[in-house]
Amino acid sequence: MPRVHDVPLCRQLIAPAEWDRHGGWALGDRIEWSNRACGLASLRMILLAYGREAPTITELLKLAVKHEVLTPRGAVHAGIASLATDLGVPSTAEPVPVEDLTRRLDDAPLIVSVTEQFPDDGRVGGHLVILRGYEDGPDPTIHFRDPSAWGQTHHHIRLSRLSPSYTGRAITFAPLIHNGES
């Protein structure tokens, strides 16, 4: 059975104390920024999974603003990949067809663009989550980490349910080494 990568769960909702401690107030409204922080929370989870220093969401937000990673619609995938690489985890923003997701998950987790809560009503993208592994089968079960409130209690989904909301865009990472083995 393929490995499910150990990726800690982080929330995109920025705590008031963190916001204040790291000067987030200079950026504006904490809740407004929290609603757009799924990519930065996902980046933080990746940094932790790879054993790297993981700045707070507020600190990542300040970096993202400085490097123009955020747009009114959310994070630019190439910008998140660049931040990840700068913070010690080599990564690339690239298309990954849905049929290649499980193969790619053998080596490393992925950040992918989906619709929050994976609806099958035709909406695509707009929310970033981490796919961290799978259980093989005719309709593989995909293990994920979602920084939204909904994602705090949901951790796996069938590939057939993920597919309709997946944009085909991902942020891929160097192989994740576990205790000396890849």
Mean pLDDT (whole number) for 93-105: 96
- Looking at residue 147, what is its pLDDT? 97
The reported pTM is 0.93
What single string gives the DSSP state of each residue in the chain?
Answer: -----------SSPPHHHHHHTTGGGGS-HHHHHTT-HHHHHHHHHHHHTT-----HHHHHHHHHHTT-EETTEE-HHHHHHHHHHTT--EEEEE--GGGHHHHHTT--EEEEE-TT---SS----EEEEEEEEE-SSSPEEEEE--STGGGS--EEEHHHHGGG--SEEEEESPPPBTTB-
- Name the pLDDT band for 123 (thresholds 50, 70, 90): confident
Mean pLDDT (whole number) for 110-132: 92
- Name the pLDDT band for 78 (thresholds 50, 70, 90): very high
Mean pLDDT (whole number) for 2-19: 92
Mean pLDDT (whole number) for 104-116: 95
Residues of the chain with pLDDT > 90: what percent? 83
Average pLDDT, the chain: 92
Mean pLDDT (whole number) for 131-144: 96
* pLDDT tens profile 54-76: 999 999 999 999 998 987 767 89
